[in-house]
Chains A and B, each alone.
Chain A
Amino acid sequence: MSDQPDPQDFLPLRPVEFEILLALAGGEAHGYAIIKEAETRARGMFRLETGALYRGLRRLTTSGLIRPTEKRPAPDADDQRRSYYAITELGRMVAVAEARRLRAQVEAARARELLADAKGGGS
């Protein structure tokens, strides 16, 4: 814990992992909430399967980018079986770094005129 890992070490993130980080950047959530959020954002162009989610959560937890949380944002709304996740400080830094990386790529694509007629099509 004493020496903070370099966020660059985690790049590039897998798309699923980035989706999870993006979802959690907006606040703590449980598994299905993350899936819903990702699907909504992608407007049906991206599907997050339960298995992939599980795997992504496991990876992000192990590397310390997210953490399970004891807090129940809506204590009476749900049962005890659900887990909630929150993005960690490190996770946020990694997400920022990944976003910058992606932005650089998108800009490069634009410079090559790959996105010429798709204004605003990027994120």
Chain B
Amino acid sequence: VKGVGRRPVLRRVVRLFLNIFPEDVPGISREDMEETFLDGYEDARSRTRFLAVELAALFRHGLGERWESLEAPRPLAGLTDDIRFALKSLLKQPLFTAGAVLMLALGLGVNTGAFSMTMGMSRIADRFRDPEELVFLWGVEEGWDRAAVSAPHYFAWRDESTAFQSTAAYREMDRYISGDGDPQRIRTAAVTPGIFQLLGLSPEAGRLFAEADAAPDAPPVAAVSWRLWQERYGGEDSVLGTTLMLNDVAHTIVGILPKTVDFEMFWRGVGVIVPLSLSQGDTNWSAQSYRVVARLAPEATVQQAGTQIAAITQRLAQAHPEANGHLRSRVEPFQDFFFGGDNKLAMAGILMAVLAILLIACVNLAKILMAKGAARQGEVAIRLALGASRARVVRQLVTESLVLALAGGAAGVYLGQLGVELLLSTMPSAPFLLEEAGLDFTLLAYTFAVSVVAAMAFGLTPALLTSRMSLGEGVKETSPGASAGRKRKRLRDWMLVSQLAVTVPLVLTCGVSFLNLRALQSIDFGFPVEGLLTAQVDLPTHRYPDQESQSRFYRELLETLRTTPGITAVGAGIYVPIGAVGGAAYAPLVVDGREAADGSARGPRGYRAITPEYFQALGVGLLAGREFTYDDTPETLPVAVVNEAFAQTYWPDDNPVGRLIRPETDPSRLYSGYELTVTQPITVVGVVQDFGATFYGDPPGPELYLSQNQHPFSSLFVVLRSEGDPLALVPAVREGVARIDEAVPITSVRTGERMVDDWLQESRGIGAMLGVLAILALGMAVLGLYGMVAHSVAQRTFELGVRMVLGARGRAIQASVMRSFLLLAAVGVAIGIGVGALLGLVVRSFLVLLQVPWIPMVLGVSGLMMGVVALAAWVPARRATTIQPVVALKTQ
């Protein structure tokens, strides 16, 4: 029995197997194969055997065919034609092409930018030889997990552990260059000679240190950093062998450090390197000033090293409890030090943001391609009808997407690099990143991969949708009035929702962070920043060895300046409360009557030394008692001024003036290795108002000020308040210092406003980046949303016209169109706010911000998105319902 009706079940099975085969070649049909199979089955002697053998063969050959259809070089044969055709068709629609390329370029640009920054940061450690073996050995103390250690610690770690091939130590200190040119205070590092070998560094020129250079009687030698070599010596090789006066000691310059490491770690800001001579017999446990680096032995792990070092440290603590009872230890790989925790988190956040932008870009691109695909259905249908295979048509469409993607990718790489350069130019502390963040193969591969994936995912879908339809459908769909296919509509709905779900949290997060950083610009320091000038003065300690000479210098300087016209008040201190410049001196103290309390409730752990008129020069008001005067001398009663917060913390109900603060006497509360600068009880003589500001907007904490006259420091910030432009006073300050001692350097002179700028510089860079991301995301989303909604409503002009003809009211139609889109938009916005809230929690946990009003922000962004969707639906709907129905129907 032959015919179409025979053996329907078997026919189904066979058909299933035949589906494994790829497309039919014209002229060969699966139908013929079905019949052939059934013929064979009916004629077979053993039908079971026939089925087993034949179905297996169908399966095998089907897969084989499919494989060949992928592998055959033939599908690539027409590639150049495809590309030519793609270019032609893209150029025929320049607006579409420009839009698509721009969309991709923006999405990919922020991606390559962020990716190259991340790569750059993650690659810093790679500047050393085999960086995965390199570790830091840190001391760990309360509140400080990267503490320097003493020389005996270093020796014990080096000699008693087996986990390291080699270890080295270094210490940083400021020294003074003199002799040629202006006196200069400079950061220097003393290193054990083996450190270069350990890190795998070779000199740019000259030589680095040998063990002999560290011998106590060796002639003093120095190496200079690449930057100092460029800036001070003009990059001339002739500097080798010349003499450098370092703290008035002549050092011979023997080498120049390689440029590649002129950054970070101890090289950051370090200009001169000298050999460190450490004696094995050094038993000074309290001089905790050495940092230790090591290279792991071939088989050793970081954990093993950590365990060994911890055991050694513990043994030392038991053997010498008086010196280092608090000290614990920790081993940190270089990679973590240069690109660890916070960096990773911040970078992950940025990467997430840029990926979200890419997603928005891709969704927009997909919409453009779909709209274009819809417009080209006629063309596709005709090509299919003329005998082009579906694969051929899809391939053509995919080629177009790829050409677009590559153009977008190239433009994106360019934009990204431009962005990185702009961004890094706002971050002066990270110039090395520029080099690291450069173009390289990984970056290009990443961009290429992302653009191709984007083009495939978002170009192929519309292409498949376009080509999958039957000819009849294609002809139908060329008439724009027909409602889009169901699949297409569902896809569009999903795109609308997902775009909002991605955009809303992105805009919210970036926007909130941006506004928060903006808010810092107008932060209130509690005193007027305008009219303030600060100058950092460094007394070379070899010229001013004792407190008396230091005190005398500053008194003389301040008295000279006070008589200068234009200066209304002048003081000095170890600290300027703008961006926490300078610092505090360590001194564990006990507030009278608080002896029983624990920790910080017991008393402050440090103080800031200031001169008379410091508060006046800053513009901070005195609330009670008096300021310091020059009558407060080392011989008179030790005095203190506290701020309001201090008074509130320790004496909430009493008058602080006249109360006592004593030095801590409990040895368990003292850190080892610090010389105590407060040895007598101090009497509070005044209270000033709170001032200063932190990055996170925290209220000022308790502050204790002691008299510089009674607790002198060699390096102070001179603070001047001027009547007019503070910069006009700069020459007077320089002259004043030079008149007393020409060898005293002024390291930095800055106005109050400049200090605010400098403080906020990095955060401003980040803020600008977030702002750009937010605006970019918002702009792309608004355009994309509008385009998508308006396009799909406009396509329904015919349908809406029909409804008008059937007697529906224009307003009712408009409302119903808008309703359907607003519903989708509401879902998207709701998901977006949910995601945004989650992101906000994460952001808040590592950036204590969100001081900005975020509720209006959420409402604003949601409102804007809904508004755009509503407008995009309303405009074409109104057009469709207000034109003559006849015209609407003619759009068919």
Say yes or no: is B735 at the interface (Cβ < 8 Å to chain A): no
Contacts of A81 in B (CB 8 A): 4, 29, 31-32, 34-35
Contacts of A32 in B (CB 8 A): 35-36, 39-40
Say yes or no: is B577 at the interface (Cβ < 8 Å to chain A): no
B21 touches A54 (CB 8 A): yes
Say yes or no: is B281 at the interface (Cβ < 8 Å to chain A): no
A79 touches B3 (CB 8 A): yes
B32 touches A83 (CB 8 A): yes
A49 touches B36 (CB 8 A): no
B33 touches A54 (CB 8 A): yes
A31 touches B35 (CB 8 A): yes
B4 touches A58 (CB 8 A): no
Tell me the smallest distance from the CB of A19 to a CB of chain B, in Å: 14
Q: Would you list which residues of chain A between 34 and 76 have a CB under 8 Å from chain B?
A: 35-36, 47, 49-55, 57-58, 61-62, 67-68
B62 touches A67 (CB 8 A): no
Given contacts A32-B40, A51-B58, contact A61 B35 (CB under 8 A): no
Once the chains are docked, how many angstroms separate the CA of A58 from the CA of B21?
Answer: 11
Once the chains are docked, how many angstroms separate the CA of A61 from the CA of B389?
Answer: 15
Query: Residue of B at shortest CB range from A77?
Result: B2
Say yes or no: is A110 at the interface (Cβ < 8 Å to chain B): no
B61 touches A83 (CB 8 A): no
Say yes or no: is A112 at the interface (Cβ < 8 Å to chain B): no
B34 touches A58 (CB 8 A): no
The answer, among A51, A54, A62, A82, for a CB contact under 8 Å with B59, is A51
Query: Residue of B at shortest CB range from A66?
Result: B27
Say yes or no: is B173 at the interface (Cβ < 8 Å to chain A): no
Residue interface mask B380-412, A partner, CB < 8 A = 1:
000000000000000000000000000000000
Contacts of B834 in A (CB 8 A): none
Contacts of B64 in A (CB 8 A): 55
B32 touches A50 (CB 8 A): no
Query: Residue of B at shortest CB range from A62?
Result: B25
How many A-B pairs with Cβ below 8 Å?
83
Contacts of B37 in A (CB 8 A): 50
Tell me the smallest distance from the CB of B38 to a CB of chain A, in Å: 9
Once the chains are docked, how many angstroms separate the CA of A61 from the CA of B655?
Answer: 105
A68 touches B26 (CB 8 A): yes
Q: Would you list which residues of chain A between 8 and 33 have a CB under 8 Å from chain B?
A: 30-32
A82 touches B28 (CB 8 A): no
Query: Residue of A at shortest CB range from B39?
Result: A32
Tell me the smallest distance from the CB of B891 to a CB of chain A, in Å: 41
Say yes or no: is B753 at the interface (Cβ < 8 Å to chain A): no
Given contacts A51-B57, A51-B59, contact A82 B27 (CB under 8 A): no
Say yes or no: is A3 at the interface (Cβ < 8 Å to chain B): no
A31 touches B57 (CB 8 A): no
Q: Which of B28, B29, B60 has the most CB of A within 10 A?
A: B28
B35 touches A51 (CB 8 A): no
Once the chains are docked, how many angstroms separate the CA of A83 from the CA of B34?
Answer: 11
Contacts of B29 in A (CB 8 A): 81, 83
B36 touches A30 (CB 8 A): yes
Once the chains are docked, how many angstroms separate the CA of A52 from the CA of B59?
Answer: 10
B32 touches A49 (CB 8 A): no
Say yes or no: is B53 at the interface (Cβ < 8 Å to chain A): yes
Say yes or no: is B332 at the interface (Cβ < 8 Å to chain A): no
B26 touches A51 (CB 8 A): no
Tell me the smallest distance from the CB of B671 to a CB of chain A, in Å: 83
Once the chains are docked, how many angstroms separate the CA of A55 from the CA of B36?
Answer: 13
Once the chains are docked, how many angstroms separate the CA of A50 from the CA of B39?
Answer: 10
Say yes or no: is A78 at the interface (Cβ < 8 Å to chain B): yes
Once the chains are docked, how many angstroms separate the CA of A78 from the CA of B31?
Answer: 13
A68 touches B57 (CB 8 A): no
Say yes or no: is B592 at the interface (Cβ < 8 Å to chain A): no
Q: How many residues of B contact A (CB 8 A)?
A: 31
A79 touches B26 (CB 8 A): no
Once the chains are docked, how many angstroms separate the CA of A92 from the CA of B18?
Answer: 29
Given contacts A31-B33, A50-B36, A51-B61, contact A83 B54 (CB under 8 A): no
Given contacts A32-B36, A49-B58, contact A67 B2 (CB under 8 A): no
Tell me the smallest distance from the CB of B391 to a CB of chain A, in Å: 13
Interface size class of A (residues with CB under 8 A): 20 to 34
Say yes or no: is B421 at the interface (Cβ < 8 Å to chain A): no
The answer, among A35, A58, A68, A79, for a CB contact under 8 Å with B36, is A35
Query: Residue of B at shortest CB range from A67?
Result: B27
Residue interface mask B43-57, A partner, CB < 8 A = 1:
100000000011001
Once the chains are docked, how many angstroms separate the CA of A58 from the CA of B25?
Answer: 6
Query: Residue of A at shortest CB range from B29?
Result: A83
Contacts of A61 in B (CB 8 A): 25-28
Residue interface mask B428-444, A partner, CB < 8 A = 1:
00000000000000000
Say yes or no: is B65 at the interface (Cβ < 8 Å to chain A): yes
Q: Which of A35, A53, A62 has the most CB of B within 10 A?
A: A53
Tell me the smallest distance from the CB of B3 to a CB of chain A, in Å: 6
Tell me the smallest distance from the CB of A103 to a CB of chain B, in Å: 29
Given contacts A30-B32, A31-B35, A32-B39, contact A83 B27 (CB under 8 A): yes
A83 touches B28 (CB 8 A): yes
Contacts of B18 in A (CB 8 A): 54
Once the chains are docked, how many angstroms separate the CA of A67 from the CA of B28?
Answer: 9
B32 touches A82 (CB 8 A): yes
Query: Residue of A at shortest CB range from B3?
Result: A79
Contacts of A85 in B (CB 8 A): 27
Residue interface mask B1-41, A partner, CB < 8 A = 1:
01110000000000001100100011111011111110110
Tell me the smallest distance from the CB of B615 to a CB of chain A, in Å: 93
Tell me the smallest distance from the CB of B165 to a CB of chain A, in Å: 62
Q: Would you list which residues of chain B between 316 and 349 have a CB under 8 Å from chain A?
A: none
Tell me the smallest distance from the CB of A26 to a CB of chain B, in Å: 18
Query: Residue of B at shortest CB range from A68?
Result: B27
A55 touches B54 (CB 8 A): no
Contacts of A57 in B (CB 8 A): 28
Query: Residue of A at shortest CB range from B37?
Result: A50
Once the chains are docked, how many angstroms separate the CA of A35 from the CA of B37?
Answer: 10
Tell me the smallest distance from the CB of B436 to a CB of chain A, in Å: 52
B2 touches A49 (CB 8 A): no
Once the chains are docked, how many angstroms separate the CA of A53 from the CA of B57?
Answer: 10
Once the chains are docked, how many angstroms separate the CA of A30 from the CA of B34?
Answer: 12
Tell me the smallest distance from the CB of A43 to a CB of chain B, in Å: 15
A31 touches B36 (CB 8 A): yes
Q: Would you list which residues of chain B between 830 and 888 have a CB under 8 Å from chain A?
A: none
Once the chains are docked, how many angstroms separate the CA of A52 from the CA of B21?
Answer: 11
Once the chains are docked, how many angstroms separate the CA of A58 from the CA of B72?
Answer: 14
A53 touches B36 (CB 8 A): yes
Contacts of B59 in A (CB 8 A): 51
The answer, among A31, A50, A55, A78, for a CB contact under 8 Å with B65, is A55
B35 touches A49 (CB 8 A): no
Tell me the smallest distance from the CB of A16 to a CB of chain B, in Å: 10
Once the chains are docked, how many angstroms separate the CA of A58 from the CA of B69?
Answer: 11
Residue interface mask B451-486, A partner, CB < 8 A = 1:
000000000000000000000000000000000000
The answer, among A36, A50, A82, for a CB contact under 8 Å with B58, is A50
Q: Would you list which residues of chain B between 204 and 222 have a CB under 8 Å from chain A?
A: none
B33 touches A50 (CB 8 A): yes
B28 touches A49 (CB 8 A): no
Contacts of B58 in A (CB 8 A): 49-51, 54
Tell me the smallest distance from the CB of A61 to a CB of chain B, in Å: 5
Residues of A bordering B, CB below 8 Å: 30-32, 35-36, 47, 49-55, 57-58, 61-62, 67-68, 78-79, 81-83, 85
20 more A-B residue pairs beyond the given contacts A49-B54, A81-B31, with a C-beta to C-beta distance below 8 A: A30-B35, A31-B36, A35-B36, A50-B33, A50-B57, A51-B54, A51-B60, A51-B62, A53-B33, A54-B21, A54-B33, A55-B61, A55-B65, A58-B25, A58-B65, A61-B25, A62-B25, A67-B27, A81-B34, A83-B32
Q: Could you show 22 A-B contacts with beta carbons less than 8 Å apart?
A: A31-B32, A32-B35, A35-B36, A47-B53, A49-B53, A49-B57, A50-B33, A50-B40, A50-B57, A51-B57, A51-B62, A52-B57, A54-B61, A57-B28, A61-B25, A61-B26, A61-B27, A79-B3, A79-B35, A81-B29, A81-B35, A85-B27
- Which 8 A/B pairs are nearest by Cβ-Cβ distance? A68-B27, A51-B61, A31-B36, A49-B57, A32-B39, A51-B58, A83-B32, A51-B57
